[in-house]
Structure 1
Amino acid sequence: MLRGVYYYFYQIFRDRAEAIARENKRNGIGDGSVGMLSSLMVAALAGCTNVLLTNPIWVVVTRMQTHTKNSNKSQPGHSSIAPDEKGLDPIECPPYGTGHAIQELYDEAGIQGFWKGVFPTLIMVSNPSMQFMLYETMLKKLKRKRALVKQGDTGVAALEIFLLGALAKLGATVVTYPLLVVKSRLQAKQTTTGDKRHHYEGTLDAILKMIRYEGLHGFYKGMSTKIVQSVLAAAVLFMIKEELVRGARMLLTKGGTSRGRTRPA
């Protein structure tokens, strides 16, 4: 659903950019296509809109995912299963749900707490921006080459779309993954006692502490798994998106042709 928010706004901004490009062509400016810089701006606008709308959801999700781990670290000897006073069977602690995470976050930082990590997340807008820029650029070059070889035929196969989407996402992920790590560290519950290496005052503090205590490789923890998951997902989404857009255009074209052939009695 959250990815759908991005694609929704991306398509809106993309349609607007294409309309501007066509208008510029009629005025003798450009070739009527959306350039690389415009593609980057469209993706960035869609990304910023998506971040501002969905960041509170990601903060709550991250808080829930890291709750048990942080609780055990911040309170020595504490675990989600605690023994009773007589040392008999362990007593299970109350479950930690969405409501608990929201209340804890609000008590800790107020309303602004739901936008923790929004700064590196906004910078991470460059990930889908790079992804879409690379994708649109490679797609345009492929269509141009295909048109020269097949005399005007610019059709692209689903497998080619899949591979282009995978390559675009791979390039964007390698460049921006460190920002994802910093964002996750900031959104997790901060330890106020004990080990101060994992207590971050802000984005810059998190970056400096990670460099000092973990080295540069700390920014790439878990990247291999992320690449497999995100690259595959992006490739499939690009392929489905292009097929849906192609199908919708065919239906609209057929509908317009049918209406054009109809004559009043």
Structure 2
Amino acid sequence: MAVKWEWENATAGAVAGFATVAIMHPLDVVRTRFQVNDGRISNLPSYKNTPNAIFTIARSEGLRGLYAGFTPAVIGSSISWGLFFFFYSRAKKRYSGDEEDKLSPGHHLAAAAEAGALVSHGAIQFTAYEELRKLLVDFKSEKAKTKDVEVLNSLDYTFLGASSKVAAILFTYPVQVIRSRLQQRPNQDGVPRYADSFHVIKETARFEGLRGFYKGITANLLKNVPASAVTFVVYENVLKVFNLTRKKD
């Protein structure tokens, strides 16, 4: 019965994800149009504000313009929210036993955080981080003749944080490119137009090859990889301080 209920939560979450994208997607298109237009390309339409952008896109491109990139967005959202609510319901059950209505706010927060970590871009990074961490601990422990995780230092955590972020970005970046190209679709000549996600993939592969799916990734890596390295170095070292304090107590 519990498993059935968890899958009902997953289904409800997937439907909610679909509905959210169906309602809010035009605003995501508008956001992308504002971001990609720096005002230097004359054949791209300019918009005064959000309402003006919605009206202009609807008038010149119709409903398809407002929902450019809808397919990858709705698939991603439905799957993510479905999985989120599945893991959220399982986490709540684990924390509460048979008395779910007695969960504290802290337990709800923990369940939500746990579910979020499992279904986001971060899930890939954390999986890569933990697997690389185990390999590094095993390698250094063998050399040091110990199995203590304390063999890792800040330099190791820098490597782990950076490499796990690179793995996550490499895995998810093409989806971002596909969605952005679908959403940047004004009617002017010289600007690529795409019918759907498969058309984007086909045209990008044909004219740009694999590199086309990773355009702009250098800036993304330069921004996010160092930040990830710092995050994990600080996190692991703060955790060490807490562990030392606990041992002294």
TM-score tier, shorter chain, comes to 0.5 to 0.7
Paired letter, 2:33? R
TM-score, normalised relative to structure 2? 0.54
- Higher RCO (CA < 8 A, seq sep 6+): 2
Instruction: Work out whether 1:192 is the aligned partner of 2:187.
Output: yes
Structure 1: which 5+ residue stretches go unaligned?
Answer: 1-47, 81-93, 259-265
**Residue in 1 that maps onto 2:126:** 132
CA displacement, residues 29-59 of structure 1 (integer Å, 9 cap, x when unaligned) = xxxxxxxxxxxxxxxxxxx9xx988996865
Instruction: Please point out which of 154, 161, 170 is paired with 2:157.
Output: 161
Identity of aligned residues (%): 28
The number of residues matched between the two structures is 185
Cα 1:113–1:138, aligned 2, differ >3 Å: closer, same or farther? same
2-structure distance, mates of 1:201, 1:114: 9
CA drift at 1:136: 0.5
1:1-265 to 2 correspondences below 5 Å: 59-68=29-38, 72-74=42-44, 95-96=48-49, 100=52, 109=63, 113=67, 116=70, 117-118=72-73, 128-148=122-142, 149=144, 151-155=146-150, 156-188=152-184, 190-195=185-190, 198-247=192-241, 253=246
Instruction: Evaluate the alpha carbon distance shift between residue 145 and residue 58 of structure 1 in structure 2; reply closer, same or farther with a 3 A threshold.
Output: farther
Residue 135 of structure 1: how far off its partner (Å):
1.1
| Counterpart code for 1:173 | I
**In 2: Cα distance, 1:152 partner to 1:207 partner:** 47
Distance 1:212 1:69 in 2: 29
- Kindly provide the CA deviation profile for residues 141-196 of structure 1, in whole angstroms up to 9, marking residues without a partner as x: 223444452634322322211111112222343344333221221233x223434x
Q: Deviations over 1:68-127 (max 9, x none)?
A: 55983246xxxx6xxxxxxxxxxxxx844x5655676788649x8498341585699786
| Separation in structure 2 between the aligned mates of residue 248 and residue 61 of structure 1, nearest angstrom | 42
Q: Alpha-carbon deviation of 1:241?
A: 3.2
Consecutive unaligned residues of structure 2, counting only runs of 5 or more, are 1-13, 81-118
Q: CA RMSD in A?
A: 4.4
Is residue 69–residue 182 contact of structure 2 (8 Å, CA) maintained in 1?
A: no
Task: Quickly say closer, same or farther: Cα 1:145–1:210, change in 2 above 3 A.
Answer: closer
* Alignment CA distance shift 1:182-1:139 (3 Å): same
TM-score between both structures, scaled by the size of structure 1: 0.51
1:139, distance to aligned residue in structure 2 (A): 0.9
